[in-house]
Structure 1
Amino acid sequence: MRRADPLITVLKINKEAEEQAALQLKSAQLELQKTESQLDALNNYRLEYMKQMGENQGKVLSASQYHSFHEFIKQVDQALVQQVNTVKEAQKQTHHRQVHWQEKQQKRKAVELLLEKNAQKALQIANKREQKDSDEFAMQQYIRKKRR
């Protein structure tokens, strides 16, 4: 009985690592989409609020209303800055996960290539052995016929 090729175990480990990296990449991509959606929502909220204030431009606003408006916009702008930073961090994380997944994929492909080369080498050896056996059989047949 032939013992199992250790490269098959290495391939299995590399496939599992690649699958794990793919899951982490997918998770990072989903997180990036979520943060981008939140940023879009904040931008839209600010735009709508500014639009409402523009519609009220002809109306007289008290100093406290005007001050409240500016304070609120300032808070929304701060939230936007924080969200932009969150999006940038999510982009970095996604890029990192993409690179990590590609590295795992390359390792798996390298092991598969090595296994394929080993299989081709084994096939060549088997073919040579078969040819040798066939040549030897033919030679024995020839010798037997000569002796008769």
Structure 2
Amino acid sequence: MADDRALTKVLELRKKHEDDERGKWAESLKQIEAFEAQLNRLDAFKKLYLKELAGQQGKDLSVQHYLAYQGFIDRLDTTYERQQKVLEDLKQRSEILRQNYLTARQDRRIIESLLERHRLAAIKAQNKAEARMNDEFVTARQARLLIEQNKQS
């Protein structure tokens, strides 16, 4: 069946497309994980710096040193907020990639079910043809037996 061969080729392409989409989605999840780890490191670094600043406040801390600490903490906060926005963008992109993967998977399943229907229809047609051949064989056999009986009588 030419249709089945064409559908098989389409199925191969759909599987490849699905694998590509799954790979893109998996890669985006890795990027999100890396960004979250980076944000956690920034937060831990900020807490460490704040702890160090709190330890320095009991001692002689010049205004210049205090402003330097505070400026660095402000830069960390700004960087954290920027990275947070990038992380949100990555999560949105990842959701789009997940939807693309789910669509590709659904497309593949549709082609597979269509191929299965074709296969079942071919089996049904083959069974029907075999039944017809058996009926013809039995009918021919019965006809021969009747002819032989008529000849003998």
Q: State the TM bucket, normalised to the shorter chain.
A: over 0.9
Q: Residues 4-23 of structure 1 correspond to what in structure 2 (within 5 A)?
A: 5-23=5-23
Q: What is the alpha-carbon distance in structure 1 between the residues aligned to residue 118 and residue 105 of structure 2?
A: 20
Residue 99 (structure 2) aligns with: 99
> 1:24 Cα deviation (Å)?
0.7
Q: Secondary structure of 1:5's partner?
A: helix
> 1:57 Cα deviation (Å)?
2.3
Q: Secondary structure of 2:57's partner?
A: coil
Residue 141 (structure 2) aligns with: 141
Q: What is the alpha-carbon distance in structure 2 between the residues aligned to residue 119 and residue 102 of structure 1?
A: 25
Count of aligned pairs between the two proteins: 147
> 1:89 Cα deviation (Å)?
1.1
Residue 26 (structure 2) aligns with: 26
Residue 127 (structure 1) aligns with: 127
Displaced runs of 4 or more, over 2 A: 2-5
Query: Structure 2: which 5+ residue stretches go unaligned?
Result: 149-153
Q: What is the alpha-carbon distance in structure 2 between the residues aligned to residue 44 and residue 85 of structure 1?
A: 19
> 1:101 Cα deviation (Å)?
0.5
> 1:78 Cα deviation (Å)?
0.3
> 1:5 Cα deviation (Å)?
2.2
Identity of aligned residues (%): 24
Cα distance per residue 1:113-147 (max 9 Å; x no partner): 00001100110011011001101100000000000
User: TM-score, normalization: structure 2?
Assistant: 0.92
Residue 116 (structure 2) aligns with: 116
Q: What is the alpha-carbon distance in structure 2 between the residues aligned to residue 77 and residue 6 of structure 1?
A: 57
> 1:50 Cα deviation (Å)?
0.6
Cα distance per residue 1:77-121 (max 9 Å; x no partner): 000001101111111111111111110000000000000011001
Q: What is the alpha-carbon distance in structure 2 between the residues aligned to residue 117 and residue 60 of structure 1?
A: 83
Larger fraction in helix: 2
Cα distance per residue 1:51-97 (max 9 Å; x no partner): 11112221121111111111111100000001101111111111111
Q: Cα RMSD over matched residues?
A: 1.1
User: TM-score, normalization: structure 1?
Assistant: 0.95
- Structure 2: which amino acid aligns with 1:98? R
Q: What is the alpha-carbon distance in structure 2 between the residues aligned to residue 7 and residue 58 of structure 1?
A: 77
Q: What is the alpha-carbon distance in structure 2 between the residues aligned to residue 27 and residue 5 of structure 1?
A: 33
